[in-house]
Amino acid sequence: MGQKQKHRTVIFYKDYFEDFFVKQLTKVQDKIIWTIDLIEELPRVPETYLKNIKDSDGLYEIRVQQGSDNFRIFCFFDQGQLVVLANGYQKKSQTIPKREIEKALKIKKEYENEKK
């Protein structure tokens, strides 16, 4: 089997994402890993899996569905092809909880400040 070409690299920033990830069931973790692999490998990622959040200063959500459960992982891009994972949550309503967006924006700002 040949190595698949990567169009993007996904990284974890600190342990924000990992804290969410380790609490999930194995099936959910497997689906999250599968979705991250897809984001790295596809030249154009369908909105089904990666969607820009309007008016959010560059935040995206990775969309993971396992059975009837939906999960969202906030991320942002750095230098075009680097995807930085922030926080995640289990989706229970149509709207994104404001506190989750605020948390993701705080993580993004912290990341950007550390790069300076």
Interval 8-20: pLDDT, tens = 999 999 999 999 9
By three-state DSSP, how is residue 101 classified?
Answer: helix
Cβ atoms of residues 70 and 63 within 8 Å: yes
How far apart, in whole angstroms, are the C-alpha atoms of residue 25 and residue 35? 15
Measured between alpha carbons, how far is 114 from 55 in angstroms, rounded to an integer? 24
The encoded tokens of residue 23 equal 């609490």
3-state SS assignment for residue 100: helix
Confidence (pLDDT) at 4 = 76
Please provide residue 100's backbone torsions phi and psi, each rounded to the nearest 5 degrees: -70, -40
Which pLDDT score, from 0 to 100, does residue 60 have? 96
Q: Which two tokens stand for residue 77?
A: 């891009």
Q: What percent of the chain has pLDDT over 70?
A: 97
pTM above 0.85, yes or no: yes
Lowest mean pLDDT: which of 16-20, 54-58, 106-110? 54-58
